Amino acid sequence: MEKALFRNNLIKKITAALMIVMLLIPYCFAQVTFGDNKSDLKNAQNQQNDIQNKKKETEDKIAQLKAQSSDLTSLIQGLDAQMGELSASLDDINTQIATLEAEIEETQAQLEQAEADKESRYEAMKLRIQFMYEHNDYTYVEVLLSSESMADMLNKFEYINKISEYDRQMLEEYQSTINLISSSKVKLEEDKETLTASQEALQAQVDALEVVQNEKTAQLNALSKNTADQVAYKKQLEADEKKLDAEIASITAKIKAEEASGVTPSNRYDGGTFKWPTTSTRITSPYGDTSDRTSPHKGVDIGAVRAGVSGDPVYAAYDGKVVIAHRQSEYYSTAGNYVMIYHGNGLYTRYLHLDSLNVSVGQQVTKGQKLGVMGNTGNSFGAHLHFDVMLNGSYVNPCLLYTSPSPRD
């Protein structure tokens, strides 16, 4: 009865272990990649060169835009000067036209007055003739017959002739004045027409010049906006360049730290596939397991090919530098004999409970190089390998480093 119960418990434990292994297989098919500092540095430097080239192009554009703006500003200033001269000439012509219009108006008034005076004189003469006719004024014969003497007759004739001559002279003078005023008016109107034609021509030049001024001003505004945009773009490039400078300095510091620690390009982790650390693929305690411990398991336990038998080879999972090679004979450790390798970029691997070690501290190792053999040293209950991975000070699931848990990887 007890044997049957023991057998059933054993079967349950084996079944549970197999289920755990099956659950782990999908995780072991995943792969994690980590950045390479020198690759990151090269990328950052390429970006920096690209930014510097763009800055140079932008600075050249800004210089060209400023030169164009300067030329355009000079052109606009020249147009402004021409506009000033044209406007002054136009103002002068407008003044002359206004003066002529006033003179024409005055001449027209004089003409109207002269015509009125002529008409008035003419009407007076007609009235006088009418009066003489109506009152039987003397004819030349009557004057002759009524004269008391030759002298009297001559005086009367002279008087009548003087009146007639005066009327005729006055009419002629009025007509001459009217003709003179009319000629002056015609001349003034001709002068006004000439000035008006000049005014229209100047106004056409002013209008055309205003169109050019507006076009050039719009071009200058567009250049100013383009220049401001380029200046803003340059400032953004400078800000990006400053960030890249800080990033390059940080990456350079990391590379120097790695070089000081002995990690060279030949052993820096470059995101390649890790090698499974031993010949066995039998996981007896997975990452995060809490079934027989108080805190989650920080690595994976890999059982020997032959359960309980030490001696399976243990390999370096990837190129790196041995930073710890502890031997149990030096002092006791719960990890027993173990090795820690630094692969660069904050990535470490540890190999615990080894039976013996084949490497020493400071030694450069390559992926697949034998570190020792599986054992049962330290706080261990049966031959196995405890394999764990630390990234930037935190433990991660080792299975995430593999596409498959094969000793030939």
Residues 176 and 297 in one domain: no
Q: Which of 227, 242, 257 is the last residue of a domain?
A: 242
Number of domains within the chain: 2
pTM: 0.46
176 shares its domain with 303: no
Dihedral angle over CA of 196, 197, 203, 206, nearest 10: -140
Supply the CATH number for residue 135's domain.
Answer: 1.10.287
Kindly state whether residue 30 falls inside one of the protein's structural domains: no
Residue-level pLDDT at 117: 73
Q: Examine the fold and report which residue of 202, 227, 242 is the final residue of a domain before the chain moves on.
A: 242
Q: Which residues contact 366 (CB under 8 A, 6 or more apart)?
A: 267, 316, 319
Helix/strand/coil (H/E/C) assignment for every residue in 262-327 = CCCCCCCCCCCCCCCCECCCCEEECCCCCCCCCCCCCCEEEECCCCCCCCCEEECCCCEEEEEEEC
Kindly give, in sequence order, each residue whose CB lies less than 8 Å from that of residue 197, ignoring residues fewer than 6 positions away. Answer: none
Q: Distance (Å, rounded) from C-alpha 233 to C-alpha 225?
A: 12
User: Is residue 257 situated within a structural domain?
Assistant: no
Distance CA 403, CA 32 (A): 9
289 and 333 in a single domain? The answer is yes
In a domain, 14, yes or no: no
Tokens of 352: 């615990």
CA separation for the pair 345, 340 (Å, rounded): 15
Structure tokens at 338: 């173990």
Q: What is the pLDDT of residue 33?
A: 37
User: Are 397 and 272 found together in one domain?
Assistant: yes
Specify whether 191 is located in the same domain as 72. Answer: yes
Residue 69 belongs to what H/E stretch? helix 37-134
Same domain, 348 and 219: no
- What pLDDT does residue 11 have? 44
Residues 61 and 182 in one domain: yes
State how far the Cα of 407 lies from the Cα of 133, in Å rounded to an integer. 160
Same domain flag for 111 and 237:
yes
Q: Are residues 215 and 362 in the same domain?
A: no
Query: Would you tell me the crossing angle of helices 37-134 and 150-261 to the nearest 10 degrees?
Result: 170
Residue 307 in domain? yes
Nearest CA among 278, 258, 277 for reference residue 268 = 258
Residue 135, pLDDT score = 52
Q: Would you tell me how many other CB atoms lie within 10 Å of the CB of residue 281?
A: 16
Question: Per the domain annotation, does 1 fall within a domain?
Answer: no
* pLDDT in single tens digits along all 409 residues of the chain: 444 444 455 444 444 443 433 333 333 333 333 445 777 888 888 898 999 999 899 999 999 999 999 998 999 999 899 889 988 988 998 988 888 888 888 878 877 887 777 677 667 666 666 655 555 554 555 555 565 666 655 665 566 667 667 667 776 777 777 787 788 778 888 888 888 888 888 889 889 989 998 998 999 999 999 999 999 999 999 999 899 899 888 888 877 776 665 544 444 444 557 889 999 988 888 898 877 777 888 999 999 988 878 899 999 999 999 999 999 888 778 889 999 999 888 899 999 999 999 999 999 999 999 999 999 998 888 999 999 999 888 899 888 777 544 444 4
Write out the residue range of the structural domain in which residue 150 sits.
53-242
Residue 137 amino acid letter: D
Task: Report if residue 24 sits inside a domain.
Answer: no
pLDDT of residue 261: 56
Same domain membership, residue 71 and residue 193: yes
Task: State residue 23's pLDDT score.
Answer: 38
| pLDDT, position 263 | 47
Query: What is the pLDDT, as a whole number, of residue 1?
Result: 46
Looking up tokens 């006004």, which residue turns up?
Answer: 192
Look at residue 277 and tell me if it is in a domain: yes
Indicate if 135 and 179 belong to the same structural domain. Answer: yes
Which pLDDT belongs to residue 409? 45
Residue 87 lies in a domain: yes
Task: Determine the pLDDT at residue 254.
Answer: 77
In terms of domains, do 276 and 377 share one?
Answer: yes
Identify the CATH number of the domain in which residue 313 sits: 2.70.70.10
